Structure 1
């Protein structure tokens, strides 16, 4: 029997990763799954029996209050705040002695809990690396050799040290940590993120969102931040909206709204900022949109990309390390160039090619056959490489490789 304690991270793609992975793991015989949430909205510790585990008929979720998470992250608080949750988990851990126990960390933030728990029971550690230090992408561009100014997070380094197996969600991430962090190849596995849902196209009334059937709808889903390339996208769209009156750009996500406000005056009626939306609304927007745009400066195995591919959207994405592994240019996606340079404050940054972005958008606006071709091939690539079932099976096999004789 394998007892899996999955330390969840309820943020961004890491949260989606857990939601996609865990239901499939619960269906595996010989695997008991315990979800651990250290940043829940519960005012105090709580336990939930979800009753979905094939191995034991029981599936457990542990919730620790969000207020405690900041103390778990900061190494300076040590035992005073780390010990209580570990001792609570011990009530379940002590029943696992004699079996294989695995802690799967979905974030570096709670590495101190792993360190403390090692003193109570023998277990193996698996970590999934969702986010890399930014300068790893800089180094990949143009044989970057300049002095690095970004320091690595202590918890990131400690997570790599404590892990028996490290899951990287792209080949680029695996190569980066082996080269830059001196992690041995036998500890590193590449398992691409997986996404599955009801992917049959649905007819959504565009009128529900103030759109007409003649509109060409562009869709951005993600945080409204410079790192997501929002400024380059809005710069390109300002010119496109002046040329094509039937084109609409929907922005879905929270973040720095001031970045959007600067462009609204020049794109009245064609640029729609929708803020954060429910998963149900986002799914409808995928179904009614014509073109998905992912202009990120830094990205690994983007869940937005997988969701768009699964809904047969024609996607334009940056040629950044990570995203380039998801799409085959001119076949399952259209890629745009990025480059390294200095911003107005003379700080290193990555820039997207705005002219090339405009060119790719115009190509898809004017060619419905190309849109269908890209969307169809993206969907097929998602089916072959990026389903949740595939991800879960590979992850389960990794767990089995750690079984204690």
Structure 2
């Protein structure tokens, strides 16, 4: 049996996109009859631990393992040293990395072990910093050294680090979205022959015919309320401030509306922005998947106003539940949701000076779906159709197994 070593580094994203991806990747590798070893590096882990669970070997490693010999520098290189007792050096091994920032570790592992090195590009530092603006990236790349700001220097450092990982360390690269695929080849200059597009996907948890009114009663919501749902971290990049302002505008036209905000983050800022509308806004904090899916089942529409998303699991979850989805017309979201087919695109921009204008655009889309139950139903049905055709988990499993078989 071939061994696959799946690497991840803990951050709060473990509860969101990358964490979801890792769980599905492990299942897919097991279906491909690979022996799975999951290597988790985290500053939350105190001691190195090896344990077997559900057929998967878990290797949990502190980010700075204090028990290593003093002569070893406590960096990612020490992780490669630590793993030598647990990795059988075999040219058939597969090493699957999920964080490009682990350039030191990937480079060291490749020198130390034989096998095929795969990298999934979940996001890049430059796209997160510049909200996926390729034009801004090219401007920074063309600047002279004496013209560069501190931010420019940060973007350049991360860009060239990522370029080295993609072009020198990775044998195969997985892009999770079409725009990512185009960037890896077009901007980083990576050989197209080693880049594969495998969209993120989710197992189908939709239950048709759920008793909507009973669920609404369970969560103290009226049968005739116009319910809008948002899920995700409460960060500026998620467009949450724009959404709260837009919802206030929706209430002027449809006072019987409710906004559900499911996620963790800066509540204090949102409380002040939602002043006077507190009774109409439900803040849930972090909730489990079952409760979140209950909210999708009772909602009339979903909204994902992120200023940048490499992919957009939340939009796919909403489409799975036959919800029409309003998204910012940017990067990963724009290719998941088709404008005027299974949802609506709006153009939202970052910054206080753009807040009001962006909120008006989002409010207009919210009003449009609120006033037409027929349009919501039609778009929702088409959203579910697209989910089943592109983002249901069997597509991911088939493509990942196909990739592993070629290695």
Q: TM-score range by the shorter chain?
A: 0.7 to 0.9
Count of matched residue positions in the alignment of Structure 1 and Structure 2: 381
Q: How far is the alpha carbon of 1:304 from its aligned partner? A: 0.6
Contact kept in structure 1, 2:110 and 2:117, CA below 8 Å: no
Q: Deviations over 1:277-298 (max 9, x none)?
A: 1222212111111110000111
Q: How far is the alpha carbon of 1:365 from its aligned partner? A: 0.9
Using the size of structure 2 for normalisation, the TM-score is 0.85
Q: Which residue matches 1:65?
A: 62
Q: How far is the alpha carbon of 1:46 from its aligned partner? A: 1.5
Q: Deviations over 1:4-55 (max 9, x none)?
A: 10113442311111112221321223x2211111127543112222244xxx
* Distance verdict in 2 for CA 1:254–1:67, change over 3 Å: farther
SS in 2 for 1:354: helix
Q: Deviations over 1:282-326 (max 9, x none)?
A: 121111111100001111221111111111111111110211111
Q: Does residue 15 of structure 1 match 2:19?
A: yes
Identify which of 38, 47, 53 aligns with 1:50. Answer: 53
Q: Does residue 178 of structure 1 match 2:185?
A: yes
Q: Which residue matches 1:110?
A: 102
Identify which of 80, 87, 95 aligns with 1:86. Answer: 80
Identify which of 18, 24, 28 aligns with 1:24. Answer: 28
Q: Which residue matches 1:137?
A: 132
SS in 2 for 1:93: coil
Q: Where does structure 1 lack aligned partners over 5 or more consecutive residues?
A: 53-58, 70-76
Q: Which residue matches 2:207?
A: 200
Contact kept in structure 1, 2:47 and 2:65, CA below 8 Å: no
Higher relative CO (CA 8 A, sep ≥ 6), structure 1 or 2? 1
* Distance verdict in 2 for CA 1:372–1:78, change over 3 Å: farther
* Distance verdict in 2 for CA 1:9–1:213, change over 3 Å: farther
CA distance in 2, matches of 1:320, 1:284: 28
CA distance in 2, matches of 1:9, 1:396: 24
SS in 2 for 1:266: coil
**RMSD over equivalenced CA pairs, Å:** 2.8
* Distance verdict in 2 for CA 1:314–1:119, change over 3 Å: same
Q: Where does structure 2 lack aligned partners over 5 or more consecutive residues?
A: none
Using the size of structure 1 for normalisation, the TM-score is 0.85
Q: How far is the alpha carbon of 1:342 from its aligned partner? A: 7.0
Q: Which residue matches 2:261?
A: 251
Q: Which residue matches 1:119?
A: 111
CA distance in 2, matches of 1:105, 1:223: 24
CA distance in 2, matches of 1:363, 1:80: 56
